[in-house]
A = this chain, B = another copy of it.
Amino acid sequence: MFPSKIELEECAKRIAPYIHNTPVLTSQTINNISGAEVFFKCENFQKMGAFKMRGAANAILQLTEDEKAKGVVTHSSGNFAQAVSLAAKNVGLEAHIVMPNNAPQPKKEAVIGYGGLVTECEPTIRDRETTVLKIIKKTGAIPLHPSNQMEVIIGQGTAAIELLEKCPNLDVIVVPVGGGGLLAGTALAAHYFSSNCKVVGAEPKGVDDAFRSLKAGKIVGNDNPKTIADGLRTMLGDENFPIIQQFVDRITLVEEQEIIDAMKLVWERMKIIIEPSSAVALAPILRGEFKGQKVGVIISGGNVDLSNLPF
């Protein structure tokens, strides 16, 4: 029922030529503050700046030749749009990206820079989906989902496989949770590639749907998603939720100020650029929630609008 260890191993081999095996960094300052031994898996150094490259590459590389000829389509204004564009370009196929007409210009330019074909739509879920359907009808393009598609989930899990190769004795891996693809993939990886490493999802209080979904035993949504962590303003899906239920230890919630403080601390002390969604995973570690433990943290990405910083 769940993807097997072999599927994850084959995925890691499949995408290896198209991704970076990103470095694992440490910081004495952050160890001191947290009382834990923290290992940062730096997906901010991944191609196009985020882990999303892994899932996009895995999904695209498994298309049949017929499907490849038709291209792919997704709707996203964030990292997945860039990931699909670049992963498609790498193997020479077309990527249609549906973006709301109010998306920031730099995000559109990034997608175009990676070769994506942008179609603008009204900034409503309904118009996004209608526009995607129109493109599918016209081109036959294969739709890709940023978090609720098994090839994508498995792809995202490869970051944790690499982390566990370098740090085999982790007690826990903390992962930001938005759509749930990274969390589900990481949980599968920890299940198959560690002896006893737990996986904890970190979620902003303002979009606590994963927290509430696990309590309720069914997927619940967000009435008014509100957080600086723009990558996490989404909800779980039916492909990743059962994996999260089965293999994730728990979800921990963080305040907005904790996110900003964690982000600033990493910029100031580690001299690396991480996006707010990544800071969400560090925040509970900084407040001492994992004292005395060896903790992996997936730094999900580093794509930040430098002209609009929270500090």
Contacts and interface: CB of A to CB of B under 8 A. Distances in A.
Nearest to A263: B306
Interface string A35-55: 000000000110001000000
A264 B311 contact: no
Nearest to A302: B271
Contacts of A271: 44-45, 49, 272-274, 302
Given A271-B49, A272-B271, A272-B272, A264 B309 contact: no
Contacts of A270: 45
A311 B308 CA distance: 9
Contacts of A165: none
Contacts of A274: 271
Interface string A44-75: 11000100000000000000000000000000
A264 B49 contact: no
Contact of A306 (B23, B45, B267): B267
Interface residues of A, number: 17
A245 to B, nearest CB: 33
A23 B22 CA distance: 14
Interface string A252-287: 000000000000100110111110000000000000
A102 interface: no
Interface in A144-191: none
A306 B264 contact: yes
A124 interface: no
A268 to B, nearest CB: 7
Given A271-B272, A306-B309, 5 more contacts: A268-B306, A272-B272, A273-B273, A307-B311, A309-B309
Interface of A: 23, 44-45, 49, 264, 267-268, 270-274, 302, 306-307, 309, 311
